[in-house]
Structure 1
Amino acid sequence: MRTVFVGAGQVSVETAKALSEKGHEVVIIENNKDKIDELSEEMDCSFLLGDGSHPQILCEVSPNQTDFLFCLTNSDQANVIASLIGHSLGFKRIVTSITDPQFESICHELGLMDTIIPSRTVTRYLVDMVSGSENIDPSSVIKDEARLFMLVVAEEEAVTAIELDLPEAARAICYYREGEFSLVDDTEPFVVGDEVVILTDSKHLAELKKRWPSTVVAQDSDEPKE
């Protein structure tokens, strides 16, 4: 796998080190030369000096040959811009980090479905810890040919789960409406903007992706990501 990071913050550096140790090709784009000089002495990866939200810089890291583009600077705006430019340049998968939840819905409207809010992830983990809940890695339950697929409901799809006309081995199991989790009720229609999670056999992924191109897919960690 080939991964490009925009920004050399702590998350980027630690993730890049872990990927490099596993034999993955890693490139870090950073606009601070002193930081690059410092990191290049301790990391076995490539560096590119420049602004990762600039088209010319992103073109230099060969978008068509890159499996992941992680936009992890300390600026939400820079991450969103870099992600949008990366999308237009043909990066296969783009992950956008934001700190302000107000950007989340905007990112989804722009087709940036792999949007993460680090503080939210940490908060959930700590709350679960205090509550005594076990944190289950999705890869431990999504096995064999099972896959999770998430779609965002468009205006013409504001129908019930049954009327979505999903493949035989696919079921809508839950959805998020304005960030709130709910289980699917087959008699209740979805509304525009709902994020619907579908459990499906992997054989239906191509069909689902054709209907909903901008998606998030979870699968067994032993296989390469879609």
Structure 2
Amino acid sequence: MRFVIIGAGRVGLRAARVLRDEGHEVTLIERDDATIRRARNQEFPVVEGDGARESALEDAGITNADVLGALTGDLNVNFTACMIAKHYGCRTVMRIDEAYREEIYRKYAEEVDEVIYPERLGAIGAKNALLGGTIRAVADVAPNLQVVELTVTDRAPVNGYTMGELELPADATILAFGKQDRPLEIPSEDESLEIGDRLVVLADFDVLSEVRQLLVGETPERAAANAGSEAGGVH
């Protein structure tokens, strides 16, 4: 996937590193000279400019991007950038500080795909917000292991199976199961898998592609693109 992230400070740069480690393409937009140098020293492409200006977004590749992450500390910049990105068909994720009142939050939340409070999120949480969808990283356990939460879709080959019939690769284990809108719990063999059900799986990076195909219904090509790079590094 292609990401444009506005703001190469602490929040933006950490999210960019996590996404790049998974094999995604990330371009940053930043105005501060020292921050730009730090990001470029880490070999990120950086567009120098104001992320609230359409010209800067175009220079960063917004026309071909899948997601815009507006992660600066300036709410007005973030919101303006998201509104521009919406016209290009991008998923929009906007940073907001906890200091804003609830009615202000609701106003902005209605206009973008997701609002995040970086004070409450680690790098994995920010990455989940940017990626969206039916697969959510929960934690990195070791350099080759990750805990992921996956949501069963209508494309999943296992849709309609019971937990007892479900067979995952040898290097993947189900840790918890939850019916749609219900808490996660230890699964029983008689539970049936239906659209919207969630499974928390501990998996080696080498088998994440296969797990995605089984539980979410991603095509082999899409699953490999999303999970293949995970075998090479920590998120």
TM bucket, shorter chain? 0.5 to 0.7
Gaps of 5+ in 1: 126-135, 148-170, 175-198, 203-218
- Deviation track 1:57-91 (CA, whole Å, cap 9, x = no partner) reads 11222223111110000112221111112212x14
Counting only pairs closer than 5 Å after superposition, residues 78-93 of structure 1 correspond to structure 2 as 78-88=77-87, 90-93=88-91
Give the Cα–Cα distance (whole angstroms) in 2 for the partners of residues 44 and 34 of structure 1: 14
Counting only pairs closer than 5 Å after superposition, residues 11-90 of structure 1 correspond to structure 2 as 11-41=11-41, 43-88=42-87, 90=88
- Deviation track 1:189-222 (CA, whole Å, cap 9, x = no partner) reads xxxxxxxxxx9469xxxxxxxxxxxxxxxx9597
Give the Cα–Cα distance (whole angstroms) in 1 for the partners of residues 58 and 39 of structure 2: 23
- Cα deviation for residue 137 of structure 1 reads 4.0
Give the Cα–Cα distance (whole angstroms) in 2 for the partners of residues 221 and 50 of structure 1: 40
3-state SS of 2:56 partner: helix
Give the Cα–Cα distance (whole angstroms) in 1 for the partners of residues 107 and 17 of structure 2: 31
Give the Cα–Cα distance (whole angstroms) in 1 for the partners of residues 6 and 121 of structure 2: 21
- Cα deviation for residue 141 of structure 1 reads 4.9
Give the Cα–Cα distance (whole angstroms) in 2 for the partners of residues 221 and 72 of structure 1: 31
Q: Is the Cα contact below 8 Å between 1:20 and 1:44 reproduced in 2?
A: no
Deviates more, 1:65-74 or 1:52-61: 52-61
Q: Is the Cα contact below 8 Å between 2:152 and 2:195 reproduced in 1?
A: no
Looking at both structures, which has the greater relative contact order when contacts are Cα pairs under 8 Å and sequence separation is at least 6?
2
Q: Is the Cα contact below 8 Å between 1:51 and 1:57 reproduced in 2?
A: yes
Counting only pairs closer than 5 Å after superposition, residues 67-216 of structure 1 correspond to structure 2 as 67-88=66-87, 90-99=88-97, 100-102=100-102, 103-110=104-111, 112-121=112-121, 137=138, 140-145=148-153, 173=181, 200=195
3-state SS of 1:39 partner: helix
Q: Is the Cα contact below 8 Å between 2:151 and 2:195 reproduced in 1?
A: no
Instruction: Call closer, same or farther: CA 1:104–1:172 in 2, change over 3 Å.
Output: farther
Gaps of 5+ in 2: 126-136, 140-146, 156-178, 183-193, 198-214, 227-235
Instruction: Call closer, same or farther: CA 1:173–1:85 in 2, change over 3 Å.
Output: same
- Cα deviation for residue 40 of structure 1 reads 1.2
Give the Cα–Cα distance (whole angstroms) in 2 for the partners of residues 141 and 95 of structure 1: 20
Letter in 1 for 2:51: G
- Deviation track 1:98-130 (CA, whole Å, cap 9, x = no partner) reads 0124432111333x13111233558xx9xxxxx
3-state SS of 1:15 partner: helix
Q: Is the Cα contact below 8 Å between 1:69 and 1:91 reproduced in 2?
A: no
- Cα deviation for residue 27 of structure 1 reads 0.5
Give the Cα–Cα distance (whole angstroms) in 1 for the partners of residues 70 and 217 of structure 2: 22
Letter in 2 for 1:95: V
Among all aligned residue pairs of Structure 1 and Structure 2, give the percentage whose two residues are the same amino acid: 24
Q: Is the Cα contact below 8 Å between 1:3 and 1:68 reproduced in 2?
A: yes
- What's 2:230 paired with? none
Q: Which runs of 4+ in 1 moved over 6 A?
A: none
Letter in 2 for 1:145: T
Aligned pair count reads 147
**TM-score normalised by the chain length of structure 1:** 0.54
Q: Is the Cα contact below 8 Å between 1:98 and 1:117 reproduced in 2?
A: yes
Letter in 2 for 1:30: E
